[in-house]
Structure 1
Amino acid sequence: MNNDSIIAHLDESLEGLKDFQRATVQAVMTRFDSADSSGRILVADEVGLGKTIVAKGVIVELLKAHLRDTPAANRRPFRVTYICSNLTLASENRQKLAVFRGAWQQTYVQEPSYSRLLEVAVNQTQTNTDGKLLELCSLTPSTSFTLTRGHGNWYERLIIYFALIQQPELSPFADKLSEFMSDGVKKWESAHVLESTIVETFKALLTEPLTVEIKNWCEISASDNTALQVLSDFCNGLLTLTHQTRFRAHLRSLMAKACAKHLTADLFILDEFQSFKALLDTHEDDDQTLVAQQVFNNNKACKVLLLSATPFSIIPC
């Protein structure tokens, strides 16, 4: 189907927008296109005035530009990453943000590559994107940005496992690492291909000196200076990990940081953004804040749409 037909369908998806919502969409697009734009736009209004609908309009306009500016032979799905406070809201608003419906959705919308930050590490080159125009991913703070509450679900630990066994020092100990990372889970899937750049970033983090806080938290001896050394000694029977869950949580934190460094989207939408303390408080130095800053401050080429219906203290974007 040609671009004109697709653009006409996209325009039809916005027929319900009110005049002030259309005006807001155009104001956002004008700001995005301006030479001095930071790439970060805040839309703030009263509850119920349709910020999500405005976000849908912005997706439509950016996708139309993507269709016009990118030759079909070089075109990849336009990726939108929607970030909100919980999974229920994410599921609900994914429907509101849908710009294709019915058969159009099946034809042109790519299944999301990730719903958790660590899933960014899984290589997507095997995914069939032929003819797909849009990919809408979602992340929530409970599944993506809070890194120290636990050691992750079984799939996150599986991703970490495959990253670990790609390290030359650890590859001979695949069975022991599988037992360590699975933590008794019986369903342990077959091999996953990971993004090489993320594996390399993860390796660099594994070789960074452990902080005193992490050593004390995991009760690791002073002689083990890096996470890689701890794992090597553990696999060789030279070290007993007293707090295995805590150390797996630390590994999850390192992998999340590695994934955040390589997280990309054409558009990030941050809903009720004032709820994300880690995104707002640039003075904190915990894992959550570091990941949030990497996602938003180091993606200058990506556009970010901030939505808020609650008064807040303005900070520089």
Structure 2
Amino acid sequence: MDWDKLRIFHAVADAGSLTHAGETLNLSQSAVSRQIRALEESLGTTLFHRHARGLILTEQGELLFDATTAMNKRLDAAVARIRDSVEEVFGDLRVTTTTGFGSLWLAKRLPLLYRRYPDLKIDLMLEEKVLDLPMREADVAIRMKEPSQADLVRLRLMTVRMRLYAVQSYLDAHGTPETMDDLAPHRLICQNTTSTQVSAGARLVHELMTHSIRSTLTVNNYFGVLQATLNGLGIGVLPDYVTEDHPQLVRVLDGVESNEVPVYLAYPEELRASRRIAAFREFILEQITEQRQRQKDGLEM
């Protein structure tokens, strides 16, 4: 099989256009077209349906595209391992985590990581979807549950609980609840229970809603919940790790909280020796250790 033709086929299938693929490959449209025709002739099949709006893969084309996609991911992994054979920590590192954890905890700590390793190029992917690490959709993940995928190195980092918080100005204006029933006249700010989130958080919100709360503000991520809470709109349901960076938050109803949510760091077995992964892993562990020490010191004061 001609690898160059497969590379061109993959670019065309990905772009859906001979012209766009040619621009990516620095080839003319006619050169790309000749290579695709030659590949189809060698396989004895048609790979694309051609029409005025572009190109659509045939069933056989879909099979080949799946294969070339997997090949590209394996090649990316090989290149990453080769680059990691040198002493320096540099290059691309694709990190995936939830919108809440990524925006409220991780992002503000990255300047220190960049100061240590200025040649890193981090692609931070914040979404609730669980990306496929063995298929190299990301290099490393921080997840709010233990990963179930095989062939992963996994490390439990810490636990999180969802709790109730408000700013003092809101409590001064509206009163501080002493019991769950006292929440009824307050505005509750939380993630919508239909949005993707950890089940422990959703269960806590469901329980709170049984207390006849008259006004709510629902947001599809914890960053929005935090901003609304800091601006005095009500009592927010937030992960406990936000309090260190936002000391103006006052905990409401000390006994009310979700079950523990485990936080895991995971990456593919094939990247076990990666210097970039090791640098990121040790940095995260260091930050968590320092946070725990600050919390302990605060309790002892």
TM-score (norm 1): 0.29
Q: Which has the larger radius of gyration?
A: 2
TM-score (norm 2): 0.30
